[in-house]
Structure 1
Amino acid sequence: MNQTFEEWDELNNDFKQLEIDNKTYIQHLDQLTNLQKKCQSHLTHQRYRLDIIQRTLKELEKTKDKEKHKEDEEKIKELESNILKRKAQLHEVEQTLPKPNGIYLKIILGNVNVSILNKEENWCQNTARPAAPAEARWEV
């Protein structure tokens, strides 16, 4: 009988540790969610600003005063190249953030957001190779 009570006490201590670990997990999850929102906001802002710069460049090309802008032509080409590089960088950043589910997943899962947080498992899933159970985050 004493052994049963000792096991119960040990189980209680384990549960206290579980509660502490779970609280830490929830805090980290909240931080992750906030960082994801922040990154998404930065991405949106970067794309908006890039759009403005590109429109300005197009307007510059349309102007009849091309003679005036010939001296800036090299700078303009460099800027266009930098814009393309930045768009690629933004795309890479975007790939690390959760995306809305496609129509098929919405039909099957409903309004559940599934994100694979582990890069290796995400790669395996994208290349259709079987992977170990994924560390997935489910949001309702």
Structure 2
Amino acid sequence: MAKITVEDIAEIAKELKWVTLLGITVEKVGEGMSRLRLPASEEVLRPGGTISGPTMMTLADFAMYVAVLGAIGRVEMALTTNLSINFLRPPPPGDLIGDCRLLKLGKRLAYGEVLITSAAVGDGEPVAHSTLTYSIPPER
């Protein structure tokens, strides 16, 4: 069971202007997992009509943040220490889904992965894969 609710995440997200600007929503949060949706918009497209890399990186980062909070509770100062992403194929315009799962949760670090798929394609094949490390503050 998650140690934070979708409603709590929505409250935190109000302070994260980039989440609000992109319209990212949390569909699921569990203990060490999350599913987020980034809605389609013209603002995130790059030349050629595909969704930009920085947009996908933002989705991956926030998905990891939500999964970490799902595992440890409302510790808002958990921070990204590393993000690596592989862009596997260009996603067409449409919603993106970010599915995160924690692979390791320690006292000070959390490590996880995010698979990003395109709802527009709907074949379940990832358009990007990201691994992330988060630092967990000692006074949680």
What interval of TM-score do these two structures reach, taking the shorter chain for normalisation? under 0.3
State the structure with bigger RCO (CA 8 A, min sep 6), 1 or 2: 2
Greater helix share, 1 or 2? Answer: 1
**TM-score under structure 1 normalisation?**
0.26
Structure whose CA Rg is larger: 1
**TM-score under structure 2 normalisation?**
0.26
Greater strand share, 1 or 2? Answer: 2
